[in-house]
Chain A
Amino acid sequence: MNEVEEKAYLKLDEFILENTIKPLVTKEIIAEHKRNPIGKHSAHLFKILNYFRRHHDHSNGKDLIICTIPHKEWCLGEHPGERNKEYIVYHDEKFDSREAAEHGLFLKRLKKHGLLDEKGGNN
């Protein structure tokens, strides 16, 4: 995407966030994800997750889960956006299962988009 395309894309992506995604975020949805971080999800949760996973079709800054100790430790991470660069590992955001890391990632993304308040509920 060049700048022209990107501008149009991001404007609409913001519209989608505000009008489609935000209204779907509820305490029940967050609880659903906590119960089942990987697997079949309700239509509303699926829509929210699809928005997060798309990450504006960018590699740069895309959230990752990085296995730091096989079968024992998973950290959240971030894509540097280019080759020949290390993936960023957030060692202070570590979990003891892949599922827990997925939920940790979900909460991180909710916060990033202003969809989770300080008390852990939704805005």
Chain B
Amino acid sequence: MAINGYTNKLSVQPGETIKFMVNSESPKYKTQITKIICGDTDPGGPGFKVEKVNANVNKSYKGRKQEIHMGSYIKVEDNTKFQDITSFSLQAMVYPTTPEKGVQALLTKWSESSNSGYGLFIDEDGSLALWIGDGDGSVEKVSTGIPLLSGCWFFVGASYDAETGEVTLYQEARITKTNGRFSNRYQAESVTTYVKEAVNSKPCTRNDAPFAMASVLKNLPNGKAAPIYQYNGKIDRPRLANTVLSKEKMEEWIDNPAGIHVVAAWDFSEEITKKGIKNIQHIYDMSSNKLHGTAINTPLRASTGYNWTSEEHRFIHAPEQYGAIHFHDDDLTDADWDVDFEWKVPEDLKSGIYAAHVYADDEDEQDYIVFFVRPKRGVKPTAKAVFIVPTASYLAYANNRFQDVPSAQLMFGRAPVVQAEDRFLGKHAEYGLSMYDHHNDGSGVAFSSSLRPILNMRPKYRHNLSPSLWQFNADLHLVDWLTEKGFDFDVITDHDLHADGAELLSQYKVALTGTHPEYYSSQMMDAVEDFQDNGGRFMYMGGNAFIWVVQFHPDNPNIMEVRKNWGNTSWKALPGEVHLSFTGEMGSLWKHRNRAPQKIGGTGYVAQGFEISSYYRRTDDSYNPDVSWIFEGVTDEKIGDFGLVGGGAAGMELDIYDTEHGTPPHATIIASSEDHSSVYVPVTEELFFNIPGLSGDEHPRVRADMVYYPTPNDGAVFSASSISYCGSLSHNNYDNNISQITENVLKRFMSDVPLNKTVASLKA
């Protein structure tokens, strides 16, 4: 794993250029652009299938090591206003989440190389400290000596008097009934303190360091900077004064910084609009000096402040209570590597799934840097079918580490099998987290990005969550089947669907999903529903789809946001933080916004289990002539009792027909799965009370319903309703009942012949 990389975008169209960033520990590596058909290396499967593509970038390259520096922070470029400081005061409201971690920077103008400057820190012992460095090697640190309390708001302030050398520190817990982890004043008193101490050093302010919040920036030999002393926690209302402020004045400045002594007074709520945070990177200084800053690695905004009362949960309605930003020392939304090569995608390149196969000479060290070629905008496609690659869901699972989750083995009903890629990620936390992971401070990961190597979005990769494949590599089972069966199809990504909407889908007769398109933006939901409304024919080829509300960064769609709660989930947003900062809309489950998955896929997520898969059985209703054509050529009653994902077509995550949640009542259940194990249990969003007797061997709601129904304007929906379905397509050299059913539906859907039955005629 000494070579890996990423692209500057996941989806590219012919004629556009795509850039490749590569980290290679080998001094030389080669590149081969490759079309990917099948990534499953299972000896019992169809085999690994790729095709070499002629490209002018197929050649040798000089390898170089590229590193990743995680941690979010704010950088304000150096300015004479920071340098002209003699006496000063620094203050903020802070909510530390790992005060025990060691030194963490709060508000700093500090140079690590010259040990100079000034800054407010959390010290080694977890207490508040002011550092003064004179540039001649003398550093004096005045500390309160009493550790801050995790998950509680504090007023922190420090002043330095240049004439007397006097430093004053204020550390005061601001615990209310609603703003943090505790509401007990007893704790507040024990961690509130005040310190006054004289120092001999004078801060060297012309130290070439920027003003930074939540980190100190260390210059690297390559001219870039890396954060050190990264802080975990929130900061609200940071201020800098060019004088010694009294405690009373500091108190006044929390909400009303005013007067000639204001150097900077940052307002993190300033960017909040009715449509979310308008420029997520921009940090606004309300002082006349306009010392605006930039947030790096997307710290969490739309975050409750010190004054949050719990009456308003939507930040756009009470921006003054959302003046906080939550920083994490393991935030990462851009690895920021240098470009190694770029490729102009030929005009005639067929839409599909591609990779830059980069490998060192012995080929033991290699990576497939995956990207997707969509059809060119404005050119009418020749294919009638389009595969929507669930890139949003790939981002959500990017570099996930389920083997780290304490309860994972219970959920999986077996030990997760750790692969080489997982082992690499285990010792390289800097490759960033998935939306299933927790930050080092225990809070959930709300952002994911494709601007880093995603080692589980790779052919060959066997996923720790599945007994074999999951997400990208599992979706290649469908790509392989479509290819082997000779279907002409295009590939678009969730990102394209989000950007271009129903207009893009409507160029095709049929749209097929991947095996697990779980994360959807409102634009994507609208696109699919409008497509269906306009007669588009939809094949939902997986399970647990259209579940989580996500949004892409408005200016950088490589970055995606989620806010989790109220469902089967590995983390829950803090109270008051369930709305997406990018748009202000309510996050969590689409179901809670009255957009249950049944409305769009006909079925919705009901249960899960990850050790083995089962099979479907045809229903009596499937013999109705309206739907019996789906089974033409199928003589078996048991459907899909074979497959490469858990040994069956009905497994991993299962969806159910449910008219209460919006399955159209005229939909037909054509097959239902049965004989699931006790590892399969209902998802929490489907539960009222947690009671015994709910597992797959006991409860009839633990099942996948294969469903078919017509939609307006001669459209229709076919739902497989199981994640493992596509893993069965290639069984017996593609000659099996799952393959036959899928082929029957796809051929009928691609046909120009009307589907005949309308909703009205069915009701009649």
Of residues 252 through 291 on chain B, the ones whose CB sits less than 8 Å from some CB of chain A are none
**For residue B425, which residue of chain A has the nearest CB?**
A83
Taking a contact as CB atoms under 8 Å apart, the answer to whether B426 and A65 are in contact is: no
The stretch that binds B, out of A5-13, A22-30, A46-54, is A46-54
Taking a contact as CB atoms under 8 Å apart, the answer to whether B417 and A66 are in contact is: yes
Q: List 8 interface pairs A-B (beta carbons < 8 Å), by A numbering.
A: A38-B413, A38-B612, A39-B611, A41-B678, A57-B407, A64-B415, A83-B426, A87-B418
CB distance from B187 to the nearest CB of A (A): 14
CB distance from A66 to the nearest CB of B (A): 4
Taking a contact as CB atoms under 8 Å apart, the answer to whether A55 and B427 are in contact is: no
Taking a contact as CB atoms under 8 Å apart, the answer to whether B418 and A67 are in contact is: yes
Tell whether A102 pairs with B697 under 8 Å between CB atoms, given A55-B409, A84-B428: no
Bound complex: CA A41 to CA B677 (Å):
8
A-B complex: 4 closest residue pairs judged by Cβ atoms: A53-B409, A83-B429, A65-B415, A66-B418
Interface residues on B, range: 20 to 34
Question: Considering residues B406, B611, B678, B697, which has the most beta carbons from chain A within 10 angstroms of its beta carbon?
Answer: B406
Tell whether A40 pairs with B406 under 8 Å between CB atoms, given A64-B415, A70-B41: no
Taking a contact as CB atoms under 8 Å apart, the answer to whether B43 and A71 are in contact is: yes
How many residues of chain A are within 8 Å of chain B by beta carbon? Answer: 35
Q: Which residues of B contact A (CB under 8 A)?
A: 41-43, 330, 403-407, 409-410, 413-420, 422-423, 426-429, 440, 460, 462, 467, 611-612, 677-678, 697
User: Which A residues lie within 8 Å of B677 (CB)?
Assistant: 39-41
Of A38, A55, A71, A86, which one neighbours B42 at CB under 8 angstroms? A71
- Scan A13-45; emit 1 where CB is below 8 A from any B CB, else 0: 000000000000000000000000011110100
Taking A57-B406, A65-B418, A66-B417 as known contacts, 18 extra A-B pairs with beta carbons closer than 8 A to each other, sorted by chain A number, are: A38-B413, A38-B414, A38-B611, A39-B611, A40-B697, A43-B678, A46-B678, A50-B410, A54-B410, A63-B415, A64-B418, A65-B415, A66-B423, A67-B419, A74-B417, A86-B426, A87-B403, A102-B414
Question: Considering residues A38, A54, A63, A85, which has the most beta carbons from chain B within 10 angstroms of its beta carbon?
Answer: A38
User: Which B residues lie within 8 Å of A55 (CB)?
Assistant: 406, 409
A58 in the interface (beta carbon within 8 A): yes
A-B contact count (CB 8 A): 89
User: Which A residues lie within 8 Å of B611 (CB)?
Assistant: 38-39
Taking a contact as CB atoms under 8 Å apart, the answer to whether B423 and A98 are in contact is: no
Question: Considering residues A62, A63, A80, A86, which has the most beta carbons from chain B within 10 angstroms of its beta carbon?
Answer: A62
Question: Considering residues A49, A83, A102, which has the most beta carbons from chain B within 10 angstroms of its beta carbon?
Answer: A83
A116 in the interface (beta carbon within 8 A): no
A105 in the interface (beta carbon within 8 A): yes
Majority SS at the chain B contact face: loop
Taking a contact as CB atoms under 8 Å apart, the answer to whether A85 and B407 are in contact is: no
Tell whether A87 pairs with B426 under 8 Å between CB atoms, given A39-B612, A40-B612, A71-B42: yes
Taking a contact as CB atoms under 8 Å apart, the answer to whether B416 and A59 are in contact is: no
Taking a contact as CB atoms under 8 Å apart, the answer to whether B678 and A85 are in contact is: no
Taking a contact as CB atoms under 8 Å apart, the answer to whether A86 and B404 are in contact is: no
Taking a contact as CB atoms under 8 Å apart, the answer to whether A86 and B423 are in contact is: yes
Majority SS at the chain A contact face: mixed
Of residues 68 through 94 on chain A, the ones whose CB sits less than 8 Å from some CB of chain B are 70-71, 74, 77, 79-80, 83-87
CB distance from A63 to the nearest CB of B (A): 6
Bound complex: CA A66 to CA B424 (Å):
12
Q: Which residues of A contact B (CB under 8 A)?
A: 38-41, 43, 46, 49-50, 53-55, 57-59, 62-67, 70-71, 74, 77, 79-80, 83-87, 98, 101-102, 105
Taking a contact as CB atoms under 8 Å apart, the answer to whether A87 and B423 are in contact is: yes
Taking a contact as CB atoms under 8 Å apart, the answer to whether A62 and B409 are in contact is: yes
Of A49, A59, A65, A85, which one neighbours B406 at CB under 8 angstroms? A59
Question: Considering residues A50, A66, A84, which has the most beta carbons from chain B within 10 angstroms of its beta carbon?
Answer: A66
**For residue A89, which residue of chain B has the nearest CB?**
B423
Bound complex: CA A104 to CA B330 (Å):
36
Taking a contact as CB atoms under 8 Å apart, the answer to whether A38 and B467 are in contact is: yes
Bound complex: CA A114 to CA B330 (Å):
40
Taking a contact as CB atoms under 8 Å apart, the answer to whether A79 and B403 are in contact is: yes
CB distance from A71 to the nearest CB of B (A): 6
User: Which B residues lie within 8 Å of A105 (CB)?
Assistant: 415
**For residue A77, which residue of chain B has the nearest CB?**
B418
Question: Considering residues B43, B405, B417, B460, which has the most beta carbons from chain A within 10 angstroms of its beta carbon?
Answer: B417
Bound complex: CA A63 to CA B409 (Å):
10
**For residue A36, which residue of chain B has the nearest CB?**
B612
Bound complex: CA A83 to CA B332 (Å):
15
**For residue B410, which residue of chain A has the nearest CB?**
A53
Bound complex: CA A87 to CA B403 (Å):
10
CB distance from A70 to the nearest CB of B (A): 6
Taking a contact as CB atoms under 8 Å apart, the answer to whether B404 and A85 are in contact is: no
User: Which B residues lie within 8 Å of A83 (CB)?
Assistant: 330, 404, 426, 429, 440
CB distance from B393 to the nearest CB of A (A): 24
Bound complex: CA A99 to CA B132 (Å):
61
CB distance from A75 to the nearest CB of B (A): 10
User: Which A residues lie within 8 Å of B413 (CB)?
Assistant: 38, 49
Bound complex: CA A62 to CA B410 (Å):
12
CB distance from A38 to the nearest CB of B (A): 5
CB distance from A33 to the nearest CB of B (A): 12
CB distance from A22 to the nearest CB of B (A): 20
CB distance from A41 to the nearest CB of B (A): 8
Taking a contact as CB atoms under 8 Å apart, the answer to whether A79 and B407 are in contact is: no
Bound complex: CA A62 to CA B404 (Å):
9
**For residue B412, which residue of chain A has the nearest CB?**
A53
Taking a contact as CB atoms under 8 Å apart, the answer to whether A58 and B406 are in contact is: yes
Bound complex: CA A86 to CA B418 (Å):
12
Taking a contact as CB atoms under 8 Å apart, the answer to whether A84 and B429 are in contact is: yes
Taking a contact as CB atoms under 8 Å apart, the answer to whether A59 and B417 are in contact is: no
User: Which B residues lie within 8 Å of A59 (CB)?
Assistant: 404-406
Tell whether A98 pairs with B42 under 8 Å between CB atoms, given A55-B406, A59-B406, A62-B406: no
**For residue A71, which residue of chain B has the nearest CB?**
B43
CB distance from B431 to the nearest CB of A (A): 11
